[in-house]
Structure 1
Amino acid sequence: MPAIERSLPPYMQVIAHIRAQIEAGELRPGDMVPSDRDLAKEWGISRVTAQKVLTALKAEGLAESVPGVGTRVCENAPKMHHTGRDRASAVRRTGKIYTPGEYARIVSAELVPAPADVATALSIEAGAPAIKRVRVTYNKEDQPVSASTSWYDGELAEAAPRLLEAERIPEGSWTYLEKRTGRHAVYGCDSLDTRLATEEDAALLGLTLPAALKESTTTLKDGENVVVEFGISISQSGRRSVYEYELDN
């Protein structure tokens, strides 16, 4: 049973919940979105607030009105770029990482000297051993849509040996790491930017250069502010990221 938390305005929480259902495939293209009356009853909000939810979903291109019927999920809802925050939220909410029709392949998993920027993020010495896992995500047409590189302190290799296997970890690498080490990720920070693709990027995503990319870096930390995972994700243009936040008065 969904419930309103007081940290965000109610309509934003309901929007985020329905958006997540659409991204996870729990609501598929053509499925009906709950009516304003049903949303009001289910969430304990007013009809006016529920109507704001439906209006916002339509504005995002995720839903559309059907005269005499109601509101349904759009057939061509915008594709989403999933950052580390998105994947972490999906795992804890549904136990799944990828949306229906998408799948990933681990193209490499190895112990390498940490580059300077990675070493800084992981709080280790530059050149010290670091675990590097590279995955490519594909859509239902088997086309690569994004690639990500996850980095971990090399000292974790003994406790979590599957991080060095070029095979998918169904529950997600950072969840696996939590189970093996007890280091529970409680804080995350994402940074988004755009840049031109390199030859390595083009090889991973099947791009023709020059090409523009969206890049996000994600840092997950435990309760003691120790980095659990540092990741870099890239995707082609045309995949949207959505964040909601409050502004101080």
Structure 2
Amino acid sequence: MPEIERPAPAYQQVVTHLREQIDSGALAPGDPLPSATELARDWGVSRPTAQRAINTLAAEKLIETRPGQVARVKGSPKPLHRSGMDRAVATRKTGKIYGDTGEYARIVAAELTEAPADVAEVLGIEPGAQAIRRLRITFSRDDKPLSASTSWYDGALAERAPLLLVPERIVKGSWGYLEEVTGQRAVVGRDAIDVRLATEADALALGLTLPAAVKEASTILRTGDQVVIEYGVSVSGPGRVSVYDYEL
């Protein structure tokens, strides 16, 4: 049974819970939302508070409301662009990098290679030194390519973390696996997002027709003493929404 916690406002906690269910697919397009009366009873809040939560979801265009009818999850929502933060939180909560979203990845490359200058700088190794490169394509539950991402690691980890060089998925995520084998825990993440024109490689990976715009997100995960666990760059095509929830 869900319970209200402090300090977040009660209605916002209800919104967050329902939004997560919609994002994960637990509530699919067309599914009915609990009524304000049902939410008030289940959460132990007033009916106006429950109605405010419903109104908030409607304002965010996640649900459709019509007078005299039950609210329903909005059909054909734009897929979300999931940042490094999203993946990290999913791994912490569920032990799976994709949680229950229905998304999945195919690893198309896993190799030792010379580190480009920008990668070397982030990883704190010499340019041209060996680095581990993992390239994956992420697909939606209906098998559409959503993003192409490349993760980089210090090549010195190859012996201690041999699965990084195997072109197969690591269910807990690469950095979750690294935490397990090295004992180094990622506690700080930084995402930087930009927009640029797609390259031919982007178009091939994501099924785009050029010219097209893509969103490029770079993620750096560090330990408490600033050791870089993973440096990743993800590219996604148009039509994906980036959503960030935060407290002020």
Structure 1-normalised TM-score? Answer: 0.88
Are 1:149 and 2:186 matched, yes or no? no
What aligned pairs does 1:17-56 form with structure 2 within 5 A after superposition? 17-43=17-43, 45-56=45-56
- Cα distance, 1:157–1:240 mapped onto 2, change above 3 Å: same
After TM superposition, where is structure 1 displaced by more than 6 Å over at least 4 residues in a row?
none
Distance 1:7 1:232, change over 3 A: farther
Partner of 2:63: 63
Instruction: Show the 5 A alignment for 1:103-182.
Output: 103-182=104-183
Given residue 97 of structure 1, which amino acid in structure 2 is its aligned partner? I
Which digits, 9 at most, give the CA deviation of each residue in 1:82-123, with x for residues without a partner? 111111222223343335543210010111121122122222
Q: CA RMSD in A?
A: 2.3
Aligned counterparts of 2:90 and 2:66: Cα–Cα separation in 1: 29
8 Å CA contact 1:218, 1:231 repeated in 2: yes
For 2:122, the aligned partner's letter is A
Is contact 1:105–1:137 with CA below 8 Å preserved after alignment? yes
Question: Aligned partner of 1:125: which letter?
Answer: E
Contact 2:108 2:167 in 1 (8 A): yes
- State, as a whole percentage, how many aligned pairs show the same letter: 58
Per the alignment, do residues 134 and 11 of structure 1 end up closer, same or farther by CA in structure 2, a change over 3 Å counting? farther
Unaligned runs of 5+ in 1: none
User: Secondary structure of the equivalent of 2:176?
Assistant: helix
Are 2:173 and 1:193 equivalent residues in the alignment?
no
The Cα of 1:228 is off from its aligned counterpart by 1.3
Q: Secondary structure at the match of 2:23?
A: helix
After superposition, what is the alpha-carbon deviation per residue over 1:30-59, rounded to whole angstroms, capped at 9, x for unaligned? 223333344445445544443332222112
Q: How many correspondences in the alignment?
A: 247
Distance 1:97 1:67 in 2: 39
Say if 1:130 and 1:6 are closer, same or farther in 2 by CA, change over 3 A: farther
Q: For the residues of structure 1 that align with 2:155 and 2:3, how far apart are their CA atoms?
A: 41
Question: Retained in 2: the 8 A contact 1:63–1:77?
Answer: no
> Which residue of 1 is the match for residue 212 of structure 2?
211
Residue 227 (str. 1) matches residue 228 (str. 2) = yes
